Structure 1
Amino acid sequence: PPTYQEVEAFVNDKSPDAYEKLIDRLLASPHYGERWGRHWLDVARYADTKGYVFTSERRYPYSYTYRDYVIRAFNEDLPFDQFIREQLAADQLDRKGDDRSLAALGFLTVGRRYRGNIHDITDDRIDLVSRGLLGLTASCARCHDHKFDPVPTKDYYGLYSVFISSYEPEEKDLPVIGKPKSEKAYEAYQTERAKRQKNVDDYIHGEAEKFRADARLSVGDVLQAVAEKQKLAAGDQKPQFESKEAPHRRYVDLWRSYLARNAKSQRAVLAPWNQFAALKVKPEEFAARAAEIVQKLSQQEAETQADKRVNLLIVHALKNNPPENIYDVCRAYGSAFKEVEQAWTKELAEAEKAKKPRPEKLEDPAAEELRQILYDADCPAASDDEVAASMFNRAQRNKIRQLEKQLETLDVTSPGAPPRAMVMLDKDKPITTHVHLRGNPGRRGDQAPRQFFRILAGADRKPFEKGSGRLELAEAIASPDNPLTARVFVNRVWMHHFGEGLVKTPSDFGVRSDPPSHPELLDYLASRFMEEGWSVKSLHKIIMMSATYQQGSQESKQARLIDSDNRLLWKRSPARLDFEAMRDSLLFVSGQLSEETEGRGFQIDEMPTEPKRTVYSFVDRNNLPNVFRTFDFANVESSTAQRPYTTVPQQALFAMNSPLLIEQSRFLVKDLELEKVAKEQNVDAAITKLYQRVLLRNPAAEELELGKQFLAHHHDQIETPIRMTGWEKYAQVLCTSNEFMFVD
């Protein structure tokens, strides 16, 4: 709010442009962006947590960078069409060396995570873009063509293709867009993060080493699993694994691919396998046919030609245990590889014990041939740490999540963590998805190319061609030829100025919405908005300079009979301050409001008297602070067009009993030195000073008298669970009055 002195200066300014100068000053204030940016954050369903995420870190470490971007964009009067482009495709724009605009992509990424369901996450983004920017309820077309508006399911999945063609980097790979305020804190953060990252890497490497060691000893098991998956066994034959658990499905697939890919390059080892795998015989015939194959292989033992040679250890394993089914073949291979691995491990141990150089190979050529396969980077048994980690069991994965959560917690809590942008980037190859029949991803319909809504782009629209299509989508939305974008935003601004939009449903301009109360005015403002370079501040000024905006709130019985809802704007409707404005006003009049901006949000439940502006508080999607719920905060589960306004007993209880009101009343009395003023001057002077600070005016004679009666009755400390002096209680009364809580 303004100060009493600012109000007096304005009232006493007799120049013809006094009002215009006031508007210019308010629009130039850095607090303008905090106020109006908060309205946009409601549309963007901004929150600092992900929703329910099982055992993962539920907090976004860098969501605040989007909030700070929005405030900065409004303060700098970033053209709204550019604001749209940056929020949808900042990664693809020329940033001219300033990467801070990458934070704009938080518009897409700060939403709820739906337990990792990519279809629901993508639907949330489509809903945000269509309702938030276009006033279209496109998500209604997820399962079927829109029942009312001209949005077919294919158009919905066209946008689905756009967003599914992008991905979010891991948090550690998000681009840094600034520096922490403290270099010392940053150094401490880097040191601690490196330590915690090493814990993760060391654990994964250690478990991957165990995986590789086990894998080299259990080739027979995975070959049995391959045989089972490829249905090489006949009848009711089943594999018999040496290990307690069957091989991981991905590991089996890796071996299948390896066997097919290396049939020629590893012929000496794999030729027998391929011959047995090609057998199509009944179970009772397998042993006889296998004996024939083994006999032929025995005859090739002396061969030296590459295209005829076979590995002697494999042949001997088959001869020593004549196979009766395909699984016996697998176990023979497994025993040969196992013997080689054990022999190699023994040689390494003996060399280390004798302090000799590490051996480079096994002396036996056949054994060395098998060893080279086991340790070849292309072999699944030698999978790198990342691949091995993808096949860890649940206990191992839980341990990794526990260690990673320590990393994430550091990113969330450390003051030295640098700000990063929650970006989306294009995938290397864009995806053209299919329509999900009845919304079921498992039932595919027609292809849905990446393109804009037909109702807006026209029948000759062309599919997007540049990567995911996000930039082309942004250009289509921000185009002056788009009939919705400017109207939707102008209507939102009008709504926040007057309490109700020209169109009553700010996020739904479809056929079910009421027509605008002043259609020509809406068209005019949208046109002027674009002509003024999509300047939001210019739009404010056009509205606030109007005679309609400058009306008073006086009642008229005749007008009330004609237009009881004030849709024709014959007077100004009083508006209650939302919670952010109310709390900030309390901090301001008590002299406690901090000028600190940006950065991570503070916990308003734990720190109710924190002096930072309320827009910088932490918004928990799962556990919205009670005070937010009490005072009609936005629903952060999805895009909020307009907050509800309720009057419930909890609000009055908050005003009477909350630590915020009590503490600010004490600070207010102390800051104004009311008791001193009352003693050195008189009580009237102290009451007047209090009125000027809180209500920005002088008290009437009746109010002075009532104030003195109140103070006389409460001259001592009031006996309540929280002791307050009479002046503190009186200050609290004024701070909870309708005059303070409402703008009229």
Structure 2
Amino acid sequence: MRQKRLFTMLVTKFCRLVPVVMSLLVAMPVAAQDDDAVSFDQDIRPLLSDRCYSCHGPDSNSREADLRLDLEEPAHESAIVPGSTEDSEFWARIISDDEGDQMPPPHAHKPPFTEAELDLFKRWIEQGAKYERFWAFEKPQPAPVPKDVDAQWQNNPVDAFVASALKESDKHPQPEADFRKLVRRSSLDIIGLPPTPEQIAEQLRLEEEIGREAAWETWIDQLLESPRYGEHMARYWLDLVRFADTNGMHKDFYRNHFAYRDWVIRSFNENLGYDEFLTAQLAGDLLDKPTKDQLTASAFNRLHLIIDVGTALPEESHHKNVVDRVTAVSTAFLGLTMQCAQCHDHKYDPITQKDFYSMYAFFNNFDVKPETPGWPENGLQKPYISLASPEQKSTLEKFDREIQSAQTKINELVAEIAKVDAQTASGAKPVALKAKSKDLKAEKRNREAQLKKLKAKRKRFDRNVPYALVAKEREQLRKTYLLDRGEYDKPSDEVPRDTPGFLPPLNSRTSNPSRLDLAEWLVAEDHPLTSRVAVNRIWQSLMGAGLVRSTEDFGAQGTPPSHPELLDFLADDFRRNGWDTKRLVKLIVTSKTYRQSSVADELAYREDPGNRDLARASRHRLDAEVIRDQLLFVSGEMCDEMYGPSVKPPQPDGLWKSVTMIGERYKADQGDATKRRSIYTYWKRGMPPPQMTILNAPTRDACVARRERTNTPSQALLLLNEQAYFEAAGKFARRVLQKPEDERIAFAWESVTGKLPDENEVAVMEKLLDDLSQTYSSEPELAKQIEAASDDVESNVELAAWTVVANTLFNMDITKNRD
């Protein structure tokens, strides 16, 4: 305890070298200027959706005064007179101070419109109150790439669109960031790991030798070919589809899903086209002669939470499962909140309750039990397939032959015992027969014990054999009904399989469309959402925020795109070029927009704190997995093993005990398993790994398209005191001590930050080392408590001092933020 207090005191004292980062609030969209035309999509619709649509929108059941403000014709007929605010009842209501007349009314608990917002409405009405078809529901219409920009910003279409928008707003982009910073930034963004000093040196050499542009492209290609790319990109997808290792809810049984996770990683590394990626997950089991990979991908349909038998009625459990599947498809592929229409028509988007249940019908016919029947053997619930290797198959077949042989022999013994006992009962040679029966029974018990051991041995072996839960249709089609108020036991009209009416029509091979038809509809050329939603997520992963900030919601309640023409260009380009994800990533990160410096003056941050104009690089908090992985990587401790069952790094005792209903206790793995990348960490929904959730990782109960980003004291305490992170600091200290003494500070600083320390930083480090060395020299017992300390006092002091220095470096701002 004394050592821990001292470490905390020392690190706190010297952490003054860590810059303090103030988080910035995301601003509301800036209103159009006085001399600009007001845009309905950009300026007016978001305000109407936020304050008006809940009572005057698409949902006929909640509509008041029979007034619709989401459509032009009824709005103009009832409340808005184009060109005249004086004759518009809508205008009179939104400027009124009378509580009986003002809109939104006080009981709606919506804030009144601000002066700036009222000015927007006034100018919009005076300009003719023109409505526009909602941008997200129209097929992307790529505009020509702008040519009226600086020549250096014409080589990449991303830059041309961004530079053109900046020019219109009389703003200028920031200069390109330092090359070292860019190498680190791109490495964290593309593979989720920092570059090594050797990699940085090589890129600097290439920059000198072949020029920055060629060196940069070579570096990006290298990152995209790294197997670490797939591990990093898969993590975003696993959040989106709520992948976990347990069922969630109540008993939270283990569920064997790691084969799906491994397939996602391989798919990104092999650059599987997004159209194929989508189709395999939605309907891999329905493809002609599906491969094992395609069947494995169909586990997407089984990633939802599932309750235990006896906890609810099976019919209710089934309904919840299907709703969860529709929600996943809607969030992941459409970027819509279709689940909001399960009880009534959507209040903001043109999604009817019938639309919801028409989509529900596609996922209402799986041949799978709606609940978990007891503790599932090996985490498997039918239907599933084996993915055993040829060697594993051979071993299992050998086990099965031996078990069958042993069982046959036992059956023969049972028959012989019965025969002998019958003879004994008849009075024939009772003494001899009783002795024989006794011997036979003893042999039977012995063989049964051997059989039990053999089965146990097979079971242990089978735990390491990969399996995949898969989708499978029932032979007899289950009918789907519209459910009154969304209650599972109140069916009304029968509903056929179909897609929402406001989107392009579905083409079907038969009178009863399948999930395969649905997948083809999603990737059809005229679909307005699929490519936009996918491109926006990739942009978010690389730039910190999507062009549509509300990545999960492209509907009326979402945010409009900051650069709509750029989004449409990228969506169309993505589709036309084979849904090639690596190509898209490269297009974005080779742009000058991506390579800007994040440094800007105070005015720029005040005017655009959310960086919606893209006039600089965004600076943001790194995700939990990236923070943990870089500490393991820099320390030299990271295990490179890929794929396989999830692993359990150490965590505080008693966490599982506090939530379990089945007596589970957390048993940490040992050795290299605890040092694997975070994507392989066991994810228990009832108690996710605290090292991740403290740093904003989701529980994966629901689909998450974008994580929250916070900066809290508990995060600082975790990174400072977590045993695994402190051990990593000790390992890193030993790496540093292997370097010549005059190179140690530079090596340590560069390994962690990607930069070389300046004179002031070197001086601070030297002072910190001197102070720590003096402390440990005067209290050698503290130094001896450092892991793997030796009997040599001097070496222990040096190791202890460098361990605390390493821990201090690990807690610097740069290890927690992408710059």
Shorter-chain TM-score bucket reads: 0.5 to 0.7
Letter in 1 for 2:299: G
1:615 is displaced (CA, Å) by 0.4
Identity of aligned residues (%): 32
Contact 2:368 2:382 in 1 (8 A): no
Contact 2:383 2:471 in 1 (8 A): no
CA distance in 2, matches of 1:133, 1:528: 18
1:108 is displaced (CA, Å) by 1.4
Contact 1:432 1:450 in 2 (8 A): no
1:535 matched to 2:585:
no
Are residues 148 and 578 of structure 1, via their aligned partners in 2, closer, same or farther at CA, if it must alter by over 3 Å? same
Q: Which residue of 2 aligns with 1:59?
A: 254
1:696 is displaced (CA, Å) by 2.5
Output aligned runs, 1:283-682, within 5 Å.
416-458=463-505, 461=506, 465=510, 469-604=514-649, 605=651, 606-607=668-669, 610-672=674-736, 674=737, 677=739, 681-682=740-741
* Per-residue CA distance 1:27-47 (angstroms, 9 max, x = gap): 111110000010011101110
Are residues 193 and 728 of structure 1, via their aligned partners in 2, closer, same or farther at CA, if it must alter by over 3 Å? farther
Q: Unpaired runs of 5+ in structure 1? A: 203-348, 357-405
CA distance in 2, matches of 1:106, 1:197: 35
Match of 2:813 among 724, 730, 738: 738
Are residues 420 and 691 of structure 1, via their aligned partners in 2, closer, same or farther at CA, if it must alter by over 3 Å? same
Output aligned runs, 1:18-29, within 5 Å.
18-29=215-226
Single out whichever of 134-143 and 557-566 deviates more from structure 2: 557-566
Q: Which residue of 1 aligns with 2:40?
A: none
Match of 2:384 among 162, 165, 174: 174
Letter in 1 for 2:805: Y
CA distance in 2, matches of 1:546, 1:607: 43
Q: Secondary structure at the match of 1:693?
A: helix
CA distance in 2, matches of 1:50, 1:625: 15
* Per-residue CA distance 1:16-64 (angstroms, 9 max, x = gap): 411111111111111100000100111011101001355xx70012x00
Contact 1:591 1:667 in 2 (8 A): yes
Q: Which residue of 1 aligns with 2:267?
A: 73
Are residues 638 and 574 of structure 1, via their aligned partners in 2, closer, same or farther at CA, if it must alter by over 3 Å? same
Q: Secondary structure at the match of 2:675?
A: coil
Are residues 434 and 555 of structure 1, via their aligned partners in 2, closer, same or farther at CA, if it must alter by over 3 Å? same
Letter in 2 for 1:418: V
Contact 1:634 1:640 in 2 (8 A): yes
CA distance in 2, matches of 1:423, 1:743: 38
Q: Which residue of 1 aligns with 2:305?
A: 112
Q: Secondary structure at the match of 2:348?
A: coil
1:634 is displaced (CA, Å) by 2.0
1:76 is displaced (CA, Å) by 0.6
Are residues 156 and 463 of structure 1, via their aligned partners in 2, closer, same or farther at CA, if it must alter by over 3 Å? farther
Q: Secondary structure at the match of 2:482?
A: strand
1:161 matched to 2:361:
yes
CA distance in 1, matches of 2:763, 2:813: 19
Q: Which residue of 1 aligns with 2:284?
A: 90
Q: Which residue of 1 aligns with 2:199?
A: 6
1:101 matched to 2:294:
yes
1:187 is displaced (CA, Å) by 7.0
Are residues 444 and 193 of structure 1, via their aligned partners in 2, closer, same or farther at CA, if it must alter by over 3 Å? farther
* Per-residue CA distance 1:455-493 (angstroms, 9 max, x = gap): 1134xx567737771111111112121100000011111
Single out whichever of 489-498 and 720-729 deviates more from structure 2: 720-729
Letter in 2 for 1:66: Y
Are residues 740 and 88 of structure 1, via their aligned partners in 2, closer, same or farther at CA, if it must alter by over 3 Å? same
Contact 1:578 1:631 in 2 (8 A): yes
Match of 2:761 among 679, 686, 703: 703
* Per-residue CA distance 1:236-267 (angstroms, 9 max, x = gap): xxxxxxxxxxxxxxxxxxxxxxxxxxxxxxxx
Q: Which residue of 1 aligns with 2:746?
A: 688
Output aligned runs, 1:216-231, within 5 Å.
none
CA distance in 2, matches of 1:127, 1:408: 41
Q: Which residue of 2 aligns with 1:215?
A: none
* Per-residue CA distance 1:564-585 (angstroms, 9 max, x = gap): 3211011112222211111111
Single out whichever of 435-444 and 185-194 deviates more from structure 2: 185-194
Are residues 416 and 565 of structure 1, via their aligned partners in 2, closer, same or farther at CA, if it must alter by over 3 Å? closer
Are residues 502 and 580 of structure 1, via their aligned partners in 2, closer, same or farther at CA, if it must alter by over 3 Å? same
CA distance in 2, matches of 1:188, 1:660: 42
Are residues 449 and 497 of structure 1, via their aligned partners in 2, closer, same or farther at CA, if it must alter by over 3 Å? same
Q: Secondary structure at the match of 1:446?
A: strand
CA distance in 2, matches of 1:619, 1:190: 33
Are residues 562 and 669 of structure 1, via their aligned partners in 2, closer, same or farther at CA, if it must alter by over 3 Å? closer
Q: Secondary structure at the match of 2:229?
A: helix
CA distance in 1, matches of 2:474, 2:744: 67
Contact 1:431 1:468 in 2 (8 A): no
CA distance in 2, matches of 1:193, 1:509: 57
Measured on the aligned residues, the alpha-carbon RMSD in Å equals: 3.3
Match of 1:143 among 320, 343, 348: 343
1:92 is displaced (CA, Å) by 1.6
Q: Secondary structure at the match of 2:502?
A: helix
Q: Which residue of 2 aligns with 1:308?
A: none
CA distance in 1, matches of 2:399, 2:518: 39
* Per-residue CA distance 1:263-314 (angstroms, 9 max, x = gap): xxxxxxxxxxxxxxxxxxxxxxxxxxxxxxxxxxxxxxxxxxxxxxxxxxxx
CA distance in 2, matches of 1:71, 1:22: 21
Q: Unpaired runs of 5+ in structure 2? A: 1-193, 309-313, 370-379, 412-420, 429-452, 652-667, 788-799
CA distance in 2, matches of 1:408, 1:637: 35
Q: Which residue of 2 aligns with 1:41?
A: 238
Q: Secondary structure at the match of 1:731?
A: helix
Are residues 536 and 486 of structure 1, via their aligned partners in 2, closer, same or farther at CA, if it must alter by over 3 Å? same
* Per-residue CA distance 1:186-211 (angstroms, 9 max, x = gap): 5798699999999xxx9xxxxxxxxx
1:695 is displaced (CA, Å) by 2.2
Contact 1:505 1:514 in 2 (8 A): yes
Contact 2:497 2:512 in 1 (8 A): no
Contact 2:338 2:351 in 1 (8 A): yes
CA distance in 1, matches of 2:781, 2:585: 46
Alignment coverage as a number of residue pairs: 534
Contact 1:435 1:446 in 2 (8 A): yes
TM-score by length of 1: 0.66
Larger gyration radius, structure 1 or structure 2: 1
